């Protein structure tokens, strides 16, 4: 089954929330796939209602869905929104009887004059003693314009039925197809000629003891068979792991996919228990990484010390300062074999910082040598808000407050002190190939900064240019030090 800046800063400080946790009031169970409407994001949950967010990072209650019931899903089709939910099922009514209902709305903004749901219609049902529960609806619109709906729980089979995308009703003549067992909260997605069936395996509704995890199989046909990476049919209990528990969060369930743009994808789901948020059921968002044709959960970058390497060449982002030779000089010639072995320390910040200019310093890319001018600290800035699935970050030279900043003319500089200005804030998102996009929140004199990212125009010359997932100039490896 499925003022604020000060509060956000206090939440991070007092409770030690990592950047992996959505902020605000992200409390929900069985969230629907996230959908965007008029610049805001919406997700619906069991019991009616749901969450909304202006930026995709800070979530509050406010989404409106009539009908109650359980485990909804939502999808935008044309200029309308189709919302589905289950009236009973999953044992909620004392048996396996359930109904899957769909309804339309022109907008998801409850304050809009166009906000009005149509009367719900039934698209599937199950009987009291049936080997399926009509609950946990999931939608997919494939590239051919066909609309599919999956449903079912652990109490029986997962089923799929085709719907009419014009009406939201069952397509004339369409029959239910059994596609999986031993899971629930199913959904489908399409990628590169494959249909992927995702299901939630394990136990739910027991807080930190819930064993929910999300699994996947794939097929060339929307009707299956859906096989996992070992060739096991999901009708025989197969399924490859997509996302499981973390150290402080347990019970990953109810997968939804959101494509930001080519190469940038997110998955939404809930944690049955987030120990950093009173053990409550909360909304989760992670990047989607594709490895050998299979989806996996990516990472939200956590605070730490990093080296930032260009995927173009492998060179490290660094300050444009004079190279200072480390102590020691040439080694290995004329030394005695029995000479005492000692530990040679790395060059330290104090050894070189006195020679750096006091004002703005540009950046470049060069061979990584573990030198202070190549060592960066990346930290979330909670009071700055965020974007879908992530907070804004500051990027400073380790041990200093010297901050990476966007400059007029789409250039890059570092400034002596981090002030929290928008041009010093960075969106850092993991891409579908596991690399990272680093993009400024603002660029002085630029009206569309969201189109630009940290970019290598040549091996040693980083700048800001338009993001292109098919170009390694736009990609970076961010590695812990």
Put simply, whether the predicted model's pTM sits higher than 0.85 gets the answer yes
CATH code of residue 258 = 2.115.10.20
Closest alpha carbon to 163 in 189, 181, 179, 145: 145
Q: Are residues 195 and 315 in the same domain?
A: no
Q: Examine residue 278 and state whether it is found in any structural domain, yes or no.
A: yes
Tell me, what's the pLDDT at 20? 67
- The Cα–Cα gap between 171 and 210 comes to 36
Q: Are residues 233 and 371 in the same domain?
A: no
Please enumerate in sequence order all residues whose Cβ is within 8 A of that of 349, keeping only pairs 6 or more positions apart, or say none. 372, 398, 399, 400
The total number of residues written for the chain in this structure: 481
Q: Are residues 261 and 399 in the same domain?
A: no
Q: Are residues 221 and 361 in the same domain?
A: no
Q: Are residues 274 and 377 in the same domain?
A: no
Kind of pairing between the strands at 316-319 and 361-366: antiparallel
Q: Examine residue 332 and state whether it is found in any structural domain, yes or no.
A: no
CATH code of residue 386 = 2.80.10.50
**Structural domain count, the chain:** 2
Q: Examine residue 180 and state whether it is found in any structural domain, yes or no.
A: yes
The sign of the torsion formed by the CA atoms of 408, 414, 420, 425 equals positive
Q: Examine residue 378 and state whether it is found in any structural domain, yes or no.
A: yes
Number of H helices, E strands in the chain: 2, 35
Q: Are residues 281 and 423 in the same domain?
A: no
Closest alpha carbon to 169 in 185, 147, 187: 147
Q: Are residues 359 and 379 in the same domain?
A: yes
Please enumerate in sequence order all residues whose Cβ is within 8 A of that of 259, keeping only pairs 6 or more positions apart, or say none. 265
- The Cα–Cα gap between 302 and 379 comes to 7
Q: Are residues 290 and 357 in the same domain?
A: no
- The Cα–Cα gap between 89 and 1 comes to 10
Tell me, what's the pLDDT at 200? 97
Q: Are residues 198 and 233 in the same domain?
A: yes
Q: Are residues 177 and 277 in the same domain?
A: yes
Q: Are residues 317 and 386 in the same domain?
A: yes
What's the token pair of residue 58?
A: 């800070």
- The Cα–Cα gap between 378 and 393 comes to 6
Q: Map tokens 């304050």 to a residue.
A: 111
Q: Examine residue 336 and state whether it is found in any structural domain, yes or no.
A: no
Q: Examine residue 335 and state whether it is found in any structural domain, yes or no.
A: no
What's the token pair of residue 52?
A: 């909304």
The boundaries of the domain holding residue 19 are 4-297
Tell me, what's the pLDDT at 1? 45
Closest alpha carbon to 103 in 67, 55, 59, 62: 67
- The Cα–Cα gap between 42 and 56 comes to 9
Tell me, what's the pLDDT at 91? 54
What's the token pair of residue 232?
A: 């096991």
According to DSSP, residue 236 is labeled G
Q: Examine residue 334 and state whether it is found in any structural domain, yes or no.
A: no
Q: Are residues 72 and 136 in the same domain?
A: yes
- The Cα–Cα gap between 214 and 257 comes to 13
Cβ(17)–Cβ(272) under 8 Å? no
pLDDT beneath 70: ranges in the chain: 1-20, 89-94, 328-335
Q: Examine residue 368 and state whether it is found in any structural domain, yes or no.
A: yes
- The Cα–Cα gap between 225 and 201 comes to 18
Cβ(298)–Cβ(434) under 8 Å? yes
282-341 residue pLDDT tens: 999 999 999 999 999 999 999 999 999 999 999 999 999 999 998 766 666 666 777 888
Task: Provide the 3-class DSSP secondary structure of residue 13.
Answer: helix
Tell me, what's the pLDDT at 89? 55
């Amino acid at each position: 089954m499925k003022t604020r800046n000060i509060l956000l800063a206090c939440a991070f400080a007092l409770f030690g929330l990592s950047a992996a946790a959505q902020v605000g009031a992200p409390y929900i169970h069985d969230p629907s796939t996230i959908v965007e409407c008029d610049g805001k994001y919406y997700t619906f949950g069991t019991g009616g209602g749901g969450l909304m967010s202006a930026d995709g990072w800070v979530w509050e209650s406010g989404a409106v869905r009539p009908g109650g019931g359980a485990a909804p899903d939502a999808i935008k089709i044309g200029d309308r929104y189709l919302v589905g939910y289950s009236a009973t099922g999953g044992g909620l009514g004392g048996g396996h009887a359930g109904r899957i209902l769909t309804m339309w709305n022109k907008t998801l903004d409850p304050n809009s004059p166009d906000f009005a749901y149509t009367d719900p219609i039934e698209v599937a049902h199950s009987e009291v003693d049936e080997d399926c529960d009509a609950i946990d609806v999931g939608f997919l619109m494939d590239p051919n314009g066909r609309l599919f709906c999956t449903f079912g729980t652990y109490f029986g089979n997962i089923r799929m039925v085709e719907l009419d995308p014009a009406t939201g009703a069952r397509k004339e003549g369409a029959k239910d197809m059994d596609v999986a067992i031993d899971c629930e909260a199913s959904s489908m997605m399409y990628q590169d000629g494959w249909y992927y069936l995702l299901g939630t395996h394990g136990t739910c509704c027991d807080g930190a003891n819930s064993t929910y995890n999300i699994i996947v199989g794939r097929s060339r046909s929307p009707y299956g068979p859906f096989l996992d990476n070992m060739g096991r049919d999901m009708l025989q209990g197969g399924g490859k792991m997509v996302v499981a528990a973390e150290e402080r969060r347990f019970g990953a369930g109810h997968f939804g996919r959101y494509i930001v743009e080519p190469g940038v994808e997110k998955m939404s789901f809930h944690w049955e228990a987030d120990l950093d948020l009173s053990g409550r059921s909360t909304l989760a968002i992670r990047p989607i990484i594709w490895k050998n044709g299979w989806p996996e959960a990516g990472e939200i970058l956590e605070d730490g010390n990093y080296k930032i390497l260009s995927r173009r060449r492998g060179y490290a982002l660094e300050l444009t300062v004079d190279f200072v030779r480390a102590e020691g000089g040439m080694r290995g010639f004329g030394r005695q074999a029995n000479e005492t072995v000692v530990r040679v320390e790395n060059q330290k910040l104090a050894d070189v910082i006195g020679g750096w200019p006091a004002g703005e310093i540009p950046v470049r890319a060069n061979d990584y040598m573990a030198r202070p001018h190549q060592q960066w600290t990346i930290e979330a800035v909670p009071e700055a808000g965020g974007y879908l699935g992530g907070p804004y970050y500051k990027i400073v030279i380790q041990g200093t407050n010297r901050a990476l900043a966007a400059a007029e003319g789409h250039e890059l500089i570092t400034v002596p002190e981090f002030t929290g200005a928008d041009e010093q804030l960075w969106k850092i998102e993991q891409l579908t190939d596991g690399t990272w996009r680093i993009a400024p929140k603002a660029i002085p004199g630029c009206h569309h900064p969201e189109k630009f990212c940290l970019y290598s125009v040549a091996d040693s010359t980083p700048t800001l240019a338009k993001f292109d997932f098919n170009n390694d100039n736009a990609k970076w490896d961010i590695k812990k030090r």
